[in-house]
Each structure stands twice: as C-alpha cells, then as structure tokens.
Amino acid sequence: MMLEVRDLKTQFLIGGRTGTAVDGVSFSVDEGQTLGIVGESGSGKSITALSILRLLPRPFARNAGGEVLFRGVDLLKLNDKQMRRYRGHHISMVLQDPMTALNPVLTIGDQIEEAIRMHRKLPRAEVRRLAIEMLELLRVPAAARRLASYPHEFSGGMRQRVVGAIALACQPELLIADEPTTALDATVQDQYLRLLKRIQRDRSLAIIFITHDLAVVARMCDRVAVMYAGRVVERAPTAALFAQARHPYTQALLRSALPEIPDRNARLYSIEGAPPSIFQPRHGCPFAARCEHVMPRCREEAPPDIEMGQGHAASCWLLA
Amino acid sequence: MLMLILSRALQSCVALLVLSVVVFGLSRASGDPVELMVPVDATQEARDVLRHTLGLDRSLAEQYVTFLTGALSGDLGVSIRERRPALDLVFERLSNSAWLALTAMTVALTLAIPLAVAAAVWKGTLIDAFARYIAVLGQSMPTFFVGLVLIIVVSGRWGLLPAGGMESWQSYVLPSITLGWFVVAGMMRLLRSSLLEVLDSEFVKLARIKGVPERVVIWKHALRNALISVVTLGGVYFALLLSTAVIVETVFAWPGLGRLAYDAVRFRDFPVTQAVVLVTAVLVVTINLVVDFLYAWLDPRIRRSQSGGS
Ligand code: SF4
C-alpha cells in the first residue's frame, strides 16, 4: 500500500473545550487508484486530508492518535523538516477555491517554479522549462508566455489548472484533491476531471478525492469511504456502494442525490436534522439522531465495523 | 493610467483649495498680531499704520484673494516677526523635519514589522501580548511625556545622548524614537491583523503544501500581501507623524517645521502659520499620491487594471 491511514484521530481545542473532528478513521490507497472520501461539510473529510499533510490549523487542532503510513513511514512521527520533504514532493494537494488558492502578488511562474525549487536543485533555465511543461500538461494555452502573468489575469477554470500545475510540479505520488471542482461550472468541471484522469493514468498517480458530490465520485473513484461526524461509516468499491449501500446514512445520501421519481415536482429527499457537534460527548452511533432505523441499542453502544466481503464494510447495528 | 494621474491630481488641487480657505480663516481667528508687535503704550494711530502696511485693514475676502494669488506665485507673505519671506523660513526648516520624519519612520517600521510578525506567528501567546503592549504603550503615552522621560533619563541621568538641537547624528536618536514609537501601535496592529488574515488564507496553505519552509511562508508569501494594507494607510501615518512632530520638535528644541509652526502660532505670525500649513498640506497630498502609486506597484491587480489590463 502506498498510503495507509490507521485509526486517525484529530482534535480541536477551542475555548477550553475539546472536540473530536476525526474519530478513528482508517483507509488506504494504492498507486494509480482513486479513493473518494464523501460526506457533508463538517464531516471531517477536509480535516482528515490536512491531518495527512500535517497542516492542521494551529494552534487549535492537533493530532490525537493513529498512524499515517506513507510507504511504511509514519508521517505523524516525523519532525517538521522531514515532513516538509514529503509535502509537494511525495504528497500534494489541490484546494477547493481557485480564486483564493494563488498568491495575488506573485506571478504564476514564480509560484510554480518555487514548488520545483523546494525539492530539486536545478539550473534556472531547467526549472523554467519544467514549469512550462507543467502548464502544458494542465493544458494552459500559451504556457511560456503566461509564466509572467498574475493570478487575477486567469479565469477560474484556468486558475484551478495553475493550482494543479503547482501541486503536480514535483511529480508527487499521491494527490489529495479537496473539492477541486466545486467552484467551477459544469463544462469547466468536466474538462478538469478529464484532465486529472488522464494525468493519473500517465503517471500512475494515487488520488484521494474529497467531495460531497456523488456524481463526481461515480465518475472518478475506484473505492469510496463515506464519512459522518468524523468517522468512516461505510467503505466499498464504488460500484458496490451505488448498487447496494448498507449504511442508513449512505442510503439517505444516495437518495438525496438521485431522486427515484423523475417527476419535476418531486421533492428532493433530504436528510432531516444536522450532524452532531464535534464537541458533543459521544456514545452510541453518531447517526442515531437522524436515522430512520434507530434502535435503543444504537444510542448506547457504538456499532462495530462489519465486513461484508469484497472490501465492503459498514458500521451499523442493522448489519450485526 | 494617465487618466488616473490626472483625476487624482485634480482631486488634490480641490483639496488644497479648500484647505487654503481653512488656513486663512484659522490664522485670522487666532488673534490680532498687531497687539503683539507694538509696544503696550502705542497710540491708536501707530497701530492703524501697522495694520495698513500688513494689509489687515482690508476686507477678509480681499485679503484672501491677495493671499491666494500670492500663494500661487510662491509668495506667502513676509514673516511679521522675522521680516523675511515666510516661505524661505519654511524651506529652511523643511529638510530638518524631513530628516526627522524619515528616521522616525525607519524606527517605526523596524519596530512595527518584527513586532507584528512575532505577534501574528505566536498569536495568543505571551509574545503576542508583549508585542502589543510595547506598541500600545507608545501610543497611549503622550509624546511630550515620552520625550521628557527620555531626556531626563538618557541624557540627564546617563549623560548618553544630547537632549536637544541637531548638531550630530546622536541628536537624532531620542526624537526619532519618541516620534517613531508613537506610530508603531497603529501600524503594528494593522499589520498584525492583516498578517493573521493572510496566514489563514488558501494561498498560504498552498505554499505550505508545496513544502515551503515557514520562514519563507511568512516573509515572502504573507508579509508582502499584508503590507499592502499598511502602505494604503502610509499617507495617514505620514500626516500623523507631521502633526506629532510639532510636539516632539518643541520638546527636543528641534529646528524643524513643527517648531516653526509652534512659534508662529505663539507669536501670531500668521504668514508663517499659513506657509507652514500650506506647505505641509502640499506635502501630505504629494505623499498620498506617491502612496497610491506604491500601492499599485505592490499589488499587481491594481497595476494591471489601471494600465488597461490584458
Ligand atoms: S447503528 Fe442504528 S442509528 Fe446507527 S445507522 Fe445503524 S441503525 Fe441507524
């Protein structure tokens, strides 16, 4: 396995209260694979990503246990300098909002070249050539000329490609994509996803795709982990998840995304209520307050992870 | 770009015109200079003659027009006290003040930038509290007090630096600190909060994702963005510096513009008062124009949009 996350815990400490944002999450991803992490906002999926890169917002958030094994090395045990060698070099990330992800006062050439120079000692001209190559890889037109441009001179879609060029500049083995297309319109999103797929194929890149959009999951991911309230409640190969979701939360999520009745007036199914606050004390199933199948036992004891074969697992008392 | 320069220049002219009215009015409202110039037992006749030679017997509107046309041709009248062209007096003092403002600004920046960076990076810690305390102290203590304490302790008790005048570089130290410290607080607070905002931004996150060391993240990626907001207010700080200079220059017997203004007001030497304020105003307006261009230079978004963009 390239990346194996085991029992990862991340806590927030705000105003003297401790909240658990990521609560014992485990998953893995291998070369050339795409793992989707799905969940509502606040489910802990972005914090999971930042925990892997150790870029949690300081001083509030901190790792509270678990392992992040990248090719066998536990990233959580490295010192800052060692960790920095992994960032951008082995593991990289693209962010959600292309409008704010680029430094407004530096040219994009500066920003791509910096990413290369961080990890490779190369002559100037070579760095420049690589930067142009990256922009071309991401299909930014007139790449050589645009190195001297500033971020505001690009459209949203093009900016997201520049962010991609920065993230991929050092040829990382794993790319974490945190809702990279949420801010883009449908056509631009389509082009971007296609591009990402192609690059992944050419470089056998591993991707962790964080999203709330099940359509994107269906299109991009080999396997999916569904997160709710800081926990992975179900994981499965993508096809199996869409064909037979086992966890009530996943079922509800699918129902809200794919209305069964093709009637214009049909109300979209939505899940009642809101996920529990990370500061609430936890016992029992985190989904109990919103689950339509809730049983007395659910409120007392947390359901175990139940394996159903072929990499499909869910944690729910209904399956026990 | 040309349009921008023209429109900004026009705005500046209007501002200066309004100011000239205010200056004219205020210097007349400060009392009758004749009373100070003649002996106490002077006859009414003598007073009237003097008033006539000074042009004070004409209507205010007439006086204003004379004042304005004079000002436009570089003639701001003759000092009542020194009997020399007011503008000459101003220019003699201007460079002294400019040097003091420059050294004070340097003191302010060398204090404010590291303090703000330290406070932002270690937000919520003792370092943050300490940095803010230093900055606020400078602003909450009146400059005359800081100046006097420095004089008493540093030059008086320790005998280290001159207490006044401007004979050598050493005489710059105390007034620059007094004046510079006063602006540190505002600058530091502004820079700290904009640094905090920038350090929280997505592009700083991206820089960290690239593996950029924290030192470079702060000084290259964050500071330049944060400084934009400080530069925007650069003109305000300069104006603040100039007005505070009146007090500091008086305390340290600094032969600058502020001191000149103080003396002019005290002796109701209104041509000099007018000249000082007008020259200062022209300075402030010019500095503000420079700040605008500096701002455009720092922020490519503005630079490009003004030159037509691409
Ligand atoms: S354990 Fe109980 S509450 Fe939780 S999802 Fe299953 S049925 Fe619903």
B20 in Cβ contact with B67 (< 8 Å): yes
Q: Is the CB of A294 under 6 A from ligand 1?
A: yes
Is residue B6 included in any domain, yes or no? no
- Of chain B, the percentage scoring pLDDT greater than 90 comes to 13
Angle of helix B2-29 relative to helix B60-72, nearest 10 degrees, comes to 140
Is residue B204 included in any domain, yes or no? yes
Of A249, A271, A283, A318, the residue with max ligand 1 atoms within 8 A of its CB, to mutate for a pocket test, comes to: A318
**Residues B18-57: tens digit of each pLDDT:** 888 887 887 777 667 777 677 777 788 888 887 787 777 7
Is residue B12 included in any domain, yes or no? no
Measured between alpha carbons, how far is A275 from A137 in angstroms, rounded to an integer? Answer: 40
Measured between alpha carbons, how far is B226 from B229 in angstroms, rounded to an integer? Answer: 6
Q: Give the 3-state secondary structure percentages of chain A, helix then strand then coil, rounded to 5.
A: 35, 20, 40
- pLDDT score recorded for residue B298: 75
**Cis upstream peptide for A59 (omega within 30°):** yes
Is residue B67 included in any domain, yes or no? no
The CATH number for B301's domain is: 1.10.3720.10
Dihedral over alpha carbons A222, A228, A233, A238 (to 10 degrees): -20
Q: Do A103 and B299 touch (CB under 8 A)?
A: no
- Which residue has better confidence, A234 or B78? A234
- pLDDT score recorded for residue B239: 77
Q: Is the pLDDT of residue A271 over 90?
A: no
Q: Is the CB of A287 under 6 A from ligand 1?
A: yes
DSSP reduced 3-state for B296: helix
- pLDDT score recorded for residue B114: 92
DSSP code per residue over B14-64: HHHHHHHHHHHHHHHHT--HHHHHS-TT--HHHHHHHHHHHTTTS-HHHHH
From residue B140, alpha-carbon distances to B130, B180, B251 in Å are: 15, 13, 18
pLDDT band at B309 (very low <50, low <70, confident <90, very high): very low
Is residue B148 included in any domain, yes or no? yes
Closest to A55 in 3D by CA, of A84, A77, A26: A84
Q: Do A104 and B298 touch (CB under 8 A)?
A: no
The separation between the first and the last C-alpha atoms of chain A, rounded to the nearest angstrom, is 29
CA nearest to B298 within chain A = A105
- pLDDT score recorded for residue A266: 43
**Residues B111-168: tens digit of each pLDDT:** 899 999 999 988 888 998 988 888 888 777 888 888 888 888 888 788 788 777 777 7
Measured between alpha carbons, how far is A277 from A247 in angstroms, rounded to an integer? Answer: 21
Question: How many CB pairs lie under 8 A apart between chains A and B?
Answer: 82
- pLDDT score recorded for residue B52: 81
**Which amino acid, A35?**
L
Q: Is B211 left (phi over 0), alpha (psi -120 to 50) or beta?
A: left
Average pLDDT, rounded, for chain A? 89
Mean pLDDT of A161-176: 92
**Residues B256-308: tens digit of each pLDDT:** 888 888 888 888 787 888 888 888 888 888 887 788 777 777 777 766 554 43
- pLDDT score recorded for residue A270: 61
Residue A317 CA: which ligand 1 atom is closest? 1
The third-level CATH classification (topology) of the domain covering A3-80+175-182+204-319 is: Rossmann fold (3.40.50)
- pLDDT score recorded for residue A247: 94
Q: Is the CB of A248 under 6 A from ligand 1?
A: yes
- pLDDT score recorded for residue A258: 62
User: Where is mean pLDDT largest: A275-289, B97-111, B261-275?
Assistant: B97-111
Q: Do B301 and A104 touch (CB under 8 A)?
A: yes
How many domains is chain B partitioned into structurally?
1
Is residue B214 included in any domain, yes or no? yes
Q: Is the pLDDT of residue A178 over 50?
A: yes
- pLDDT score recorded for residue A260: 52
B252 in Cβ contact with B174 (< 8 Å): yes
Q: Which range of residues forms the domain containing residue B110? A: 86-306
The ipTM estimated for the assembled molecules is 0.87
Mean pLDDT of A231-259: 89
Q: Is the pLDDT of residue A263 over 80?
A: no
From residue B283, alpha-carbon distances to A23, B53, B58, B59, B276 in Å are: 61, 31, 31, 30, 10
- pLDDT score recorded for residue A69: 95
- C-alpha angle with apex B309: B307 to B310, nearest 5 degrees? 140
Using CB atoms, which residue from B209, B228, B304 is nearest to A88?
B209
